[in-house]
Amino acid sequence: MKLFAGRRRARRLEKELGDGLWRQAHDRFVRGLDRYHQVVEGVDDDVVHNHLVAIGDELADQLPAVRDLCRHAHRLFPAEGMNIPGRASELHSCLSKAANHVATTAEAAAMVRVGSAEVLSVRRRADRVLASLQDAESALERAH
């Protein structure tokens, strides 16, 4: 049954986001979140683990906003390939930065996991994700 649910989800995402630029932006964010949570699973210290989980939950809470931004972008600037429509370049850049910051947040969590960094560094990187998403929302409004 899970197989069919996965296929339905994939078809729905393709319909909403296309299979090019905006789908890639969405999927990169999702992969970063997955990686973050994989890293956090291996943290032994309960206090540190709980802090990292809270940050991860905050980032995961942004996924509907990312999907919504990508859905609106696909509707306004349909792109089945990887070419960025001119008026959408700022929006795409902000979404790309958000995904990159999720990846660096996962890297920071990995450094915390091995004892080479503090949770504060993870928090700072997560704040960059949130700021990039706010910038993306502003860019979408300007692109209308």
In 3D space, the residue among 65, 73, 80, 72 whose CA is nearest the CA of residue 30 turns out to be 65
CA distances from 117 to 6, 66, 88, 114 (A): 37, 28, 36, 8
Predicted confidence band at 10 (pLDDT cuts at 50, 70, 90)? low
Whether residue 129 is predicted with pLDDT greater than 90 in this model: the reply is yes
Per-residue pLDDT of 62-107, as tens digits, reads 999 999 999 999 999 987 788 888 889 999 999 999 999 999 999 9
More confidently predicted of 3 and 38: 38
| Fold (topology level) of 2-143 | A middle domain of Talin 1 (1.20.1420)
Q: What's residue 7's pLDDT? A: 61
Question: How far is the first Cα of the chain from the last one, in angstroms, to the nearest whole number?
Answer: 40
Per-residue pLDDT of 17-71, as tens digits, reads 888 899 999 999 999 999 999 999 999 999 999 999 999 999 999 999 999 999 9
Domain boundaries along the sequence of the chain: 2-143
Q: What's residue 29's pLDDT? A: 98
The encoded tokens of residue 124 equal 């700072």
Q: What's residue 19's pLDDT? A: 84
SS3 state at 13: helix
In 3D space, the residue among 133, 111, 139, 3 whose CA is nearest the CA of residue 60 turns out to be 133
pTM across the whole model: 0.90
